[in-house]
Amino acid sequence: MFLKRIEMQGFKSFADRTIIQFDHPITGIVGPNGCGKSNIADSVRWVLGEQSAKSMRGDKMNDVIFAGSADRRRVNMAEVTLVFDNTNHILNDDKDEIEVTRRLFRDSGEAEYLINRKNVRLKDIVDLFLDTGLGKDSLSIISQGNVLTFAEAKPLERRGIFEEAAGVAKYKKRKLESLSKLERTKANLDRSNDILIELEKQVSPLKRQARKAEIYREKKKRLEEIEISVLVQDIESIHADIESAKKALFDIETKTTMFSTDIQINETKLSESRRQISTLDREINDLQDELMKKFNEIAGLEARRTELDEKRKYIVETGTNEQKAKQLAGLIEEARVEFEDRQKRLDALNTEIRLYSQQLSAAAANIVDKRSEYDQASNRLRSLENRKNVIDQLMRNPFNNQQGIRSIMDNQNALSGILGVIGQVLQVENGYEEAVSTALGAAMNHIVTVDEQAARDAIRFLNRNQSGRATFLPLTVCTPRYVSQDNQIICQNTKGYLGVASDFVKNQDQFEPVITSLLNNVLVVEDMEAGNELSTLTKRMYKIVTLGGEVIHRGGSMTGGKTRHDTNIMTMRKEAEEINALIDAESARVTLATKALNQANEARDKAAQAMSEKRYAVAALEPVVDAKKAKYEKLKNDLALLDPKGLNQDGDESHTEELIVRLNQAYLDRDTITNDMKAKREQRYQINQEA
């Protein structure tokens, strides 16, 4: 056996890898002082197991690592390998060549020992050379001052040196180890006897404890059976809840259909109500015309009766035609003035009636428009509220089909370190929800934990309760991903490129490890054309998503399309926000439409009331005008035809009785028409309220 080769790297002055080959029986290494000759001998002793830094001519063991120079940086590891020829198998190994290696790391201070490139203990290296005369303290290596030390050594010290050289030390060491083992064995026997005596004292209590343990196991088994039964019931209850939710969703959709049918029915009823109102308006107008005719008739009859009364009075008071002629002339002038005054008032009232009629027509048209606006806004609002109810129900139970996630989130307070589901905790800028959720993919349902221990505890909870499976993402294992500098320049110069997906997440600080790990190397573009171009320019190295949710995967494959109802957490949250905004807007429109409709109804009612009042005034005034005109004409005729025979008191008396009968009938007809018109108005109001 002999040393064939030494390989050194980072050891003392040997910064670079250095190999010294020993091909001749006698080899000498010569050189000036300080060139490193002693470092070679130190390297051999170091590999053989030297643990003393002073023996290696240093203050601490890290001093054997190359510390650097003016033009060389220091290294972080020292490594020395000794290669021995073992063809005569002096070393206890079957191989013809044995490699022994030692390494030391500067930062950690850890050391490694290897035999034939396999990790071993320091003791294994010492045992390998124990009976060979080699060793860190053997005479195979005689350093400066060792000869003087040998000469000045005491007899016992010299004996140790001779025994090491003769190979006796190996057996003495084994003897000491055997004696030590015997002492330990004797001590263990004594201790075992003591333990046996102690255990004999504990047999009875242990038997009682064993019985209690057996009872405990039985009760625990029973408890597990009960817990399993309860879990089965819980699962059945959950399934029932799911079926109930599905049924509720079906009921909502059915109600939506029913509401649509009700809307159509109500629209039909509304049209019928409008038709009835129009018919009632015509009937009311006809009754108003009849009422005005009756007013005219009553006014004419009253005027005629007044005229006869005046005539009778006139006959009594005047005795001669001459006196009558003078009185008639004065009455004619007075009747003319009264007639012209009443006619002017009647013309003014008719002008106002035409104006109110125009206002009433405009108000009716406005009511139709406002009613249409109100109905449309109400229908849109009902549709939005139905959709909001569906989304709210889905948002309250987003993990109905994922038992593991639902179980963890339901017990979040009982488990430490659970931060939430990625799709729920990340806040995305408006307009980028589809792109970010697509970029996350299945990771959107991963549960974020503070560390790996929290994830392990949660998994044990799922296993213990058989509550399904879930994927966990500890913040401590998230590795940031980046787009290379060259590809960033390419992206910035590509039309349609918007940024990386992590740019569009708001709460960056708290979940930065998650964001940089999952989204920092996903590119976002406007559309597929820009995505295909960017994928080609970046050599298909990155995942690319569009604003519409299409994906261009690494390698070039593409994914796209839409489903009828998207149950994505982020998109549902966005849709809920949009629907809430739309509901607020539609509610405001319904309020405005209701207010406008009420104002239009008030305007119509005011115009109708004013026109009705004017018509009543006209109906009351027209008979007066006619009476004044008739009086005026009659007085003129009386004046022209005045003669002693012109005044017939008996004829006037019979005519007066006839007028009274006709006048009473006219009063009765007027009251009947007024009651009919009042009933029609109440019927119209009732229909309008129901509509």
Domain ranges of the chain: 2-166, 403-566
Q: How far apart are CA 23 and CA 501, in angstroms?
A: 65
Number of residues written out for the chain: 691
pLDDT at res. 549: 87
pLDDT at res. 655: 61
Alpha helices in 397-417 (DSSP H): 403-410
Sequence-separated (6 or more) residues with CB below 8 Å from residue 547:
431, 432, 434, 435, 498, 524, 525, 526, 527
CB 105 within 8 A of CB 113: no
What single DSSP character describes residue 14? B
Find the mean pLDDT for residues 244-264. Answer: 73
Residue 464 to residues 211, 222, 405, 458, 469, Cα–Cα distance (Å): 27, 16, 15, 10, 12
Number of neighbouring beta carbons within 10 Å of residue 124: 14
Residue 500: which pLDDT band, with cuts at 50, 70 and 90? very high
CB 571 within 8 A of CB 394: no
Residue 650: which pLDDT band, with cuts at 50, 70 and 90? very low
pLDDT at res. 647: 44
Highest-pLDDT range among 263-272, 495-504, 605-614: 495-504
pLDDT at res. 164: 63
Three-state SS for 38-63 is HHHHHHHHHHCCCCCCCCCCCCCHHH
Query: What is the CATH topology of the domain spanning 2-166?
Result: Rossmann fold (3.40.50)
Question: Comparing 45-59, 96-110, 438-452, 540-554, which segment has the lowest mean pLDDT?
Answer: 45-59
Sequence-separated (6 or more) residues with CB below 8 Å from residue 507:
425, 426, 427
Greater confidence (579 vs 472) lies with: 472
pTM given for the model: 0.35
**To 10 degrees, what angle do helices 485-492 and 528-537 make?**
140
Three-state SS for 338-361 is HHHHHHHHHHHHHHHHHHHHHHHH
Greater confidence (576 vs 397) lies with: 576
* Residue 663 scores a pLDDT above 80: no
pLDDT in tens, 18-61: 998 887 666 777 888 878 888 888 888 898 888 888 878 888 88
User: What DSSP string runs through 215-270?
Assistant: HHHHHHHHHHHHHHHHHHHHHHHHHHHHHHHHHHHHHHHHHHHHHHHHHHHHHHHH
Q: How far apart are CA 390 and CA 246, in angstroms?
A: 11
> Cα torsion for 403, 405, 410, 415, to the nearest 10°?
130
Q: How far apart are CA 285 and CA 282, in angstroms?
A: 5
* Residue 105 scores a pLDDT above 90: yes
Q: Which two tokens stand for residue 641?
A: 């035809």
pLDDT at res. 102: 94
* Residue 646 scores a pLDDT above 90: no
The whole-chain average pLDDT of the chain stands at: 78
Greater confidence (25 vs 442) lies with: 442
Q: Which residue has the tokens 């013309």?
A: 347
Find the mean pLDDT for residues 89-106. Answer: 87
Greater confidence (637 vs 379) lies with: 379
φ, ψ at 332 (rounded to 5°): -60, -45
Question: Buried b / exposed e across 328-343, counting CB within 10 Å, b at 16+?
Answer: beebbeebbebbeebb
Helix %, strand %, coil % of the chain (to 5):
65, 10, 25
CB 517 within 8 A of CB 480: yes
Greater confidence (498 vs 236) lies with: 498
> Cα torsion for 590, 596, 601, 602, to the nearest 10°?
130
Q: In what order do the strands lie in the sheet with 558-559?
A: 497-500, 522-525, 543-546, 551-552, 558-559
pLDDT at res. 410: 82
Question: Of 142, 123, 140, 124, whose CA–CA distance to 132 is shortest?
Answer: 140
* Residue 400 scores a pLDDT above 50: yes
What single DSSP character describes residue 446? P
* Residue 154 scores a pLDDT above 50: yes
The SS3 call for residue 277 is helix
CB 440 within 8 A of CB 430: no
Question: Comparing 130-139, 272-281, 282-291, 346-355, which segment has the lowest mean pLDDT?
Answer: 130-139
Q: Which two tokens stand for residue 110?
A: 């850890």
pLDDT in tens, 204-236: 877 888 888 888 888 888 877 887 877 777 677
* Residue 649 scores a pLDDT above 50: no
CB 521 within 8 A of CB 481: yes
CB 299 within 8 A of CB 620: yes
CB 349 within 8 A of CB 621: yes
Element (H, E) at 530: helix 528-537
* Residue 661 scores a pLDDT above 80: no
pLDDT at res. 163: 67
pLDDT in tens, 66-86: 988 888 888 999 999 999 888
Q: How far apart are CA 491 and CA 542, in angstroms?
A: 11
Q: Which CATH number does 403-566 carry?
A: 3.30.70.1620
Residue 388 to residues 257, 385, 563, Cα–Cα distance (Å): 16, 5, 19
Element (H, E) at 139: none
pLDDT at res. 682: 76
Greater confidence (421 vs 576) lies with: 421
Question: Comparing 49-53, 273-277, 284-288, 305-309, which segment has the lowest mean pLDDT?
Answer: 305-309
